Structure 1
Amino acid sequence: MWFRKNMKRPESLLRIAAGLAMAAVSLWWQGASPLGLALAAAGVGIGLTGAFGYCPACAMMGRQPTE
């Protein structure tokens, strides 16, 4: 791949769970409104960072890749 993981496994699993929970709760609470869809998209993005094990924001702050 063109990137190296910068998160460890427990953090990745927490991000996946938090992203799915954020997407589900935002759609349940806000429905298909623009705000609900935007929050659900943000939750999916958080879940994807966990699934790939790479967080671009963490990389910009100087977090080193894990081995």
Structure 2
Amino acid sequence: MWYAKNVPNGERVARVLCGVVSAGAAFALLSGPWAWLGAASAAGLTMSGLLGFCPACAMVGRKLPGSGR
């Protein structure tokens, strides 16, 4: 892959769970375009957990220990 994983496994699980819960809460508590906007932002959190790469963490130079990069 063209990116190096920079999110540890425990945090990846937490990001996916928080993203799914946030998307569900957005649809349950908000209405109209606000629900879709909330769900889209939660999708970004979920995707960073699934891929193991966080662009914001990469910008500040976060690397996993022992990644060799």
TM-score, length basis structure 2: 0.89
Shift of 1:61: 1.2
Bigger Cα Rg: 2
Matches within 5 A, 1:4-43: 4-31=4-31, 33-43=32-42
| Structure 2: stretches of 5+ with no match in the other structure | none
- Alpha-carbon distance between aligned partners in 2 of 1:57 and 1:42, rounded to the nearest angstrom: 14
- Alpha-carbon distance between aligned partners in 1 of 2:28 and 2:18, rounded to the nearest angstrom: 15
Equivalence for 1:61:
60
Number of paired residues? Answer: 66
Equivalence for 2:45:
46
TM-score, length basis structure 1: 0.91
